[in-house]
Amino acid sequence: AQSVTQLDSQVPVFEEAPVELRCNYSSSVSVYLFWYVQYPNQGLQLLLKYLSGSTLVKGINGFEAEFNKSQTSFHLRKPSVHISDTAEYFCAVSVFSGGYQKVTFGTGTKLQVIP
């Protein structure tokens, strides 16, 4: 069975500083990887995804993530955060299991951008 670990439940960072949100996964088969963002009182929105090819993927709102197969990681980064980036971020892994595409989410990381 696959699993996703987001080690940091909360990450405070000053405005215009860089940020990295960590995600590690475990799976015995090939995976597809996603990051979602949830703004207060809203549903989740897809930020970016890794399917294959280049290990550095770019998403919306200036975010990017790097897939590292040897370290089974998919960390999310932004070089300079804005107040509007304050939200909860979820990493997710998708594998084919039991005849279906099964998606497992991490427990989320709350990013708090401090003015």
Partner 1 sequence: DVKVTQSSRYLVKRTGEKVFLECVQDMDHENMFWYRQDPGLGLRLIYFSYDVKMKEKGDIPEGYSVSREKKERFSLILESASTNQTSMYLCASSSDPRVRGYTFGSGTRLTVV
How would you classify the pairing of strands 56-58 and 87-97?
A: unpaired
Output 73 or 105, the one with its CB closest to partner 1. 105
How would you classify the pairing of strands 10-14 and 109-114?
A: parallel
CB of 40 to partner 1, least distance (A): 11
CB of 15 to partner 1, least distance (A): 26
Output 3 or 80, the one with its CB closest to partner 1. 3
- How far is the C-alpha of 80 from the C-alpha of 84, rounded, in Å? 12
Helix (H, G, I), strand (E, B) or coil at 84: helix
Output 65 or 92, the one with its CB closest to partner 1. 92
- How far is the C-alpha of 68 from the C-alpha of 63, rounded, in Å? 17
CB of 108 to partner 1, least distance (A): 5
Output 41 or 70, the one with its CB closest to partner 1. 41
Helix (H, G, I), strand (E, B) or coil at 79: coil
CB 78 within 8 A of CB 63: yes
Residues forming the site for partner 1 (CB under 8 A): 9, 32, 34, 36, 41-46, 49, 51, 90, 92, 94, 96, 100-101, 103, 105-108
